[in-house]
Amino acid sequence: MDQRRALVIIGTIIVVLLAVVFGTAFLSRNNRFTRNNAVRNSSPSPLLPTQSTASPSPATDANLQIFTGDTFSLGYPQNWGLLTCNNSKHFEFDPATNQDQLNIACDRAVKPITVLVGDKFTCEGEVTKFGNVLAVKSKTTEEDGDIRYRWCLDGPQVDLDITHRVSTEEKRGFFQTDYSKEIEQMISTFNPTPAGS
């Protein structure tokens, strides 16, 4: 009887340990957004020119404009400026001004909110749902107090890598106001559309 009891206790301990190991592995795998051949660039970089017709257009919501790319659309606040690149599909938002800068030669981030458009990004962080849109979110605070937010969205035709840079001092490509909540509302409007539609 004591031998049988000892075997039951040992078996229970083994089952609990296996559940902990597999549960931890499953949770850590779900908190990653990984694809092969990752792009790790955090600012616009020159690419071959595209035939994209990316442009702002009025939205049905009076507080939003819609940015339409080749295979997606994304709503953004009416009073934000938009910068589009003539040498890539990347674009940027400027909450400080509602002036658009279209078809600029981009070689580095100049606005505090950058959107990289591609199909292979490696992002680690917390999987979060904004509206009906899943994104991987991370926040890094640098030694100098600068904050870098990052959200990665996985669409069927295109992925977006959105970064927002906040600083306590004026710097190029940074802003002193944190717009992460507005960006998360913007992410909830992400609408992947089929190519050619």
Quote the distance between the C-alpha of residue 32 and its chain's center. Answer: 13
Residue 86: other Cβ atoms inside 10 A: 13
Higher pLDDT, 25 or 48: 25
Burial class of residue 50 in the structure, from the number of CB atoms within 10 Å of its CB (0-12 exposed, 13-18 middle, 19+ buried): middle
Average pLDDT, the chain: 79
Q: How confident is the model at residue 62 (pLDDT cuts 50, 70, 90)?
A: low
Phi, psi of 115 (to 5 degrees): -120, 115
Residue boundaries of the structural domains of the chain: 1-30, 36-192
- The fraction of the chain above a pLDDT of 90, given in percent, is 46
* Contact assessment for residue 52 and residue 127, using Cβ atoms and an 8 Å cutoff: no
- Tens digit of each residue's pLDDT (9 = 90 or more) over 91-132: 999 999 888 999 988 888 889 999 999 987 888 999 999 999
CATH topology of domain 36-192: Jelly Rolls (2.60.120)
Percent of the chain surpassing pLDDT 70: 76
Output helix, strand, coil percentages for the chain, rounded to the nearest 5: 20, 35, 45
- For residues 154 and 168, give the distance between their C-alpha atoms in angstroms, rounded to a whole number: 31
Which token pair is 86?
């003539």
